[in-house]
Amino acid sequence: MARRRVLLYTQSLSGTGHFVQTYEIAQALAPAHDVHLVDGGRAIPRPPPAHPFALLPLPAIYRAQGKLAPVDPTHGLDVIMGQRRRALRQALGRIQPDVVVIEHFPFSKWDLEGEILSVIDEARVAKPGVKVVCSLRDIPPGSADNPAAPDYQDYVRRILRTYFDLLLVHSDPRLIQLEEHIPWAETIPIPIAYTGYVSEKLGKRPAGAGIPAAGGAGGHVIVSTGGASRLSLLRHTVDAWRHLDARGATGNRSLIVVLPPFARRDELDGLPVEHESIRLEPFTPGFLPWMATADLSISQAGYNTCANVLETRSRAILVPNPSMYDQPPRARRLVQRGLTRAMDLERLDPDGLAATILEALAAPRPVHDVDLDGARRSCELLATL
Highest mean pLDDT out of 64-78, 200-214, 264-278, 305-319: 305-319
Contact 331, 340 (CB under 8 A): yes
pLDDT for res 208: 43
Q: What is the mean pLDDT of residues 73-82?
A: 94
- 44 or 80, which is more confident? 80
pTM: 0.92
Average pLDDT over residues 162-178: 98
- Of the listed ranges 124-133, 236-245, 272-281, the least confidently predicted one is 272-281
* Vertex 384: Cα angle to 88 and 121 (nearest 5): 25
Does position 144 have pLDDT exceeding 90, yes or no? no
pLDDT at 143: 46
Mean pLDDT of 178-193: 94
3-state secondary structure at position 119? helix
Tell me what pLDDT residue 180 has.
92
Mean pLDDT of the chain: 89
Among the residue ranges 34-38, 141-145, 282-286, 327-331, the one predicted with the least confidence is 141-145
Least confident segment among 151-155, 308-312, 377-381? 151-155
* Contact status, residue 353 vs residue 241, Cβ threshold 8 Å: no
Please state the rounded mean pLDDT for residues 43-56: 85
Spell 245-261 as b/e; 16+ CB within 10 A means b: beeeebeebbbbbbbbb
Domains of the chain: 5-197+372-382 (3.40.50.2000), 220-362 (3.40.50.2000)
pLDDT tens, position by position, 372-384: 999 999 999 999 8
Lowest mean pLDDT among 43-52, 96-105, 314-323: 43-52
Q: Is the pLDDT of residue 270 over 90?
A: no
The arithmetic mean of pLDDT across residues 333-338, rounded, is: 98
Rounded mean pLDDT of 144-164?
A: 84
Confidence of residue 50 (pLDDT cuts 50, 70, 90): confident
Average pLDDT in the 190-199 region? 98
CA distance 366 to 214: 23
Q: What is the pLDDT of residues 279-290, one digit of tens each?
A: 888 887 778 888
pLDDT of residue 150: 77
Confidence of residue 273 (pLDDT cuts 50, 70, 90): low
Q: Is the pLDDT of residue 194 over 50?
A: yes
pLDDT at 217: 62
Tell which wins on pLDDT, 77 or 272: 77
Of 222, 281, 214, 278, the residue nearest 246 (C-alpha): 278
Q: Is the dihedral of CA 126, 129, 134, 135 positive or negative?
A: negative
pLDDT at site 99: 98
Instruction: Give 59's Cβ-side CA count (13 Å radius).
Output: 19
User: What is the radius of gyration, based on Cα positions, of the chain?
Assistant: 21
So what's the pLDDT on residue 186?
94
The secondary structure of 258-276 as a DSSP string is: EPPTT--HHHHHT----ST
Mean of the pLDDT values across residues 293-301? 95
pLDDT tens for 347-373 read 999 999 999 999 999 999 999 999 999
